[in-house]
Amino acid sequence: MDINQLLRKNIQDLKPYSSARDEYTGEAMVFLDANENPFNQPYNRYPDPLQRALKEKIADLKKVDSNTIFLGNGSDEPIDLLIRAFCEPGKDNIVTMNPTYGMYQVAADISGVEIRKVSLTSEFQLDTTALLAATDENTKLIFLCSPNNPTGNSLNKEDMLKIVETFKGLLIVDEAYIDFAPGKSLLPELGSFDNLVVLQTFSKAWGMAGIRLGMAFASVQIIGILNKIKYPYNLNILTQQKALELLDQHEQVIDWVKLLIAERDEMTTELQKLPFVVEVYPSDANFLLVRMYDARGIYEYLVEEGIIVRDRSKVHLCDDSLRITVGSKEENITLLTTLKNLI
């Protein structure tokens, strides 16, 4: 597939901004090229625009080549960049599933790009026939999310592979919650499909939502396009430093994930015992979608008690459902005790 053929014409023709540090090679001792202030080191310097040190470490961890990685200000950044690179406003369109993460729609709306939403089945799985039928010659991107937000389940791998094999545009699989679903990532498939993009993030299992660091994995060509249109210094020095530190202690993340999965299972059992809970849907993520009688009433009661969960009761296929993040043991006990007081 010729990815360049899919690109918007203005992006094909774009001459990207060239930052001061891109314009020389070799070792340097004195930097008088970027109008920085010599005081207040090391924050006086612009960060590495391509975050090379950080990408090397992530490449080791994920067992991919570092030039197949794009790093962004959260994974929301590559979502937006992919739309802006490939979709001509008012002409091209995007296909996604319903329900799913809301930013695909928001980013498409901001860019003035049509988004077509295809319902999941009642098991929250893909209807691959309907999804492919919703595409036409102007469909540039398909966004899937696995494990899915807000339903919590992983999509069937064979369904996603069928789509990437058949579709003539890019398939983007958002794996923000993949660390809670070991063995289910499409990352090992990257080498087989030059139209596949996998998104992951440091915001969930890594516990670093505050530093804003998201990853896109794709062919060298797609990564080159994202690099071409991003803000030159999209990741600040503090984010890069903090991520490097945590990557050195990644056993800690494995422990957090184990703990959160154990808590998720415990919460599932306890929530199922409550008389007003209809169903706790199986989850591969760090949250549970819970169907209950009078979800809105329970949501408002919890807010009054100072506990905030996410009301998804107006979302397609999620009638009467709240989305509850798995917190610390103490937080989860507080939630359960507060809910038991309703009985």
Q: Tell which one of 34, 61, 133, 209 touches ligand PMP (CB under 6 A).
A: 209
Chain center to CA of 244: 20
Could you tell me which stretch among 21-29, 68-76, 158-166, 331-339 binds ligand PMP (CB under 6 A)? 68-76
Neighbours of 118 (CB within 10 A): 19
174 binds ligand PMP (CB under 6 A): yes
Could you tell me which stretch among 11-19, 72-80, 189-197, 327-335 binds ligand PMP (CB under 6 A)? 72-80
Per DSSP, the residues of 245-301 read HHHTTHHHHHHHHHHHHHHHHHHHHHHHTSTTEEEE---SSSEEEEEETTHHHHHHH
Could you tell me which stretch among 59-67, 74-82, 221-229, 236-244 binds ligand PMP (CB under 6 A)? 74-82
* Least distance between ligand PMP and beta carbon 198 (Å): 12
149 binds ligand PMP (CB under 6 A): yes
214 binds ligand PMP (CB under 6 A): yes
Measured CA to CA, the distance from residue 87 to residue 81 in angstroms comes to 10
* Least distance between ligand PMP and beta carbon 34 (Å): 28
Q: Which is nearer to ligand PMP, 71 or 335 (CB)?
A: 71
Cis-peptide, bond into residue 188, ω within 30° of zero: no
Q: Tell which one of 145, 198, 253, 260 touches ligand PMP (CB under 6 A).
A: 145
Could you tell me which stretch among 69-77, 113-121, 132-140, 190-198 binds ligand PMP (CB under 6 A)? 69-77
Measured CA to CA, the distance from residue 261 to residue 41 in angstroms comes to 42
CB 230 within 8 A of CB 78: no
- Backbone angles phi and psi of 297, in degrees to 5: -60, -40
Could you tell me which stretch among 51-59, 70-78, 321-329, 331-339 binds ligand PMP (CB under 6 A)? 70-78
Closest-CA residue to 293 (of 336, 264, 322): 322
Q: Which distant-in-sequence residues (6+ apart) come within 8 Å of 32 by Cβ? A: none
Residue type, 146: S
Q: Tell which one of 146, 153, 203, 313 touches ligand PMP (CB under 6 A).
A: 203
Coil, helix or strand for 305? coil
Could you tell me which stretch among 116-124, 201-209, 229-237, 294-302 binds ligand PMP (CB under 6 A)? 201-209
Q: Tell which one of 76, 263, 284, 311 touches ligand PMP (CB under 6 A).
A: 76
CB 260 within 8 A of CB 71: no
Encode burial over 243-265: b for 16+ CB neighbours within 10 A, e otherwise.
beebbeeeeebeeebeebbebbe
* Least distance between ligand PMP and beta carbon 37 (Å): 31
Q: Which distant-in-sequence residues (6+ apart) come within 8 Å of 198 by Cβ? A: 172, 173, 175, 185, 186, 187, 190, 216, 217, 218
| CA 56, 61, 63, 64 torsion-angle sign | negative
Could you tell me which stretch among 71-79, 108-116, 123-131, 292-300 binds ligand PMP (CB under 6 A)? 71-79
CB 159 within 8 A of CB 129: no
β-pair type (310-311, 214-217): unpaired
Count of residues in contact with ligand PMP, rule CB under 6 A: 12
Q: Tell which one of 74, 99, 152, 169 touches ligand PMP (CB under 6 A).
A: 74
239 binds ligand PMP (CB under 6 A): no
75 binds ligand PMP (CB under 6 A): yes
Q: Which is nearer to ligand PMP, 64 or 176 (CB)?
A: 176
101 binds ligand PMP (CB under 6 A): yes
* Least distance between ligand PMP and beta carbon 145 (Å): 5
Q: Which is nearer to ligand PMP, 139 or 201 (CB)?
A: 201
| Site residues for ligand PMP per CB under 6 A | 74-76, 101, 145, 149, 174, 176, 201, 203, 209, 214
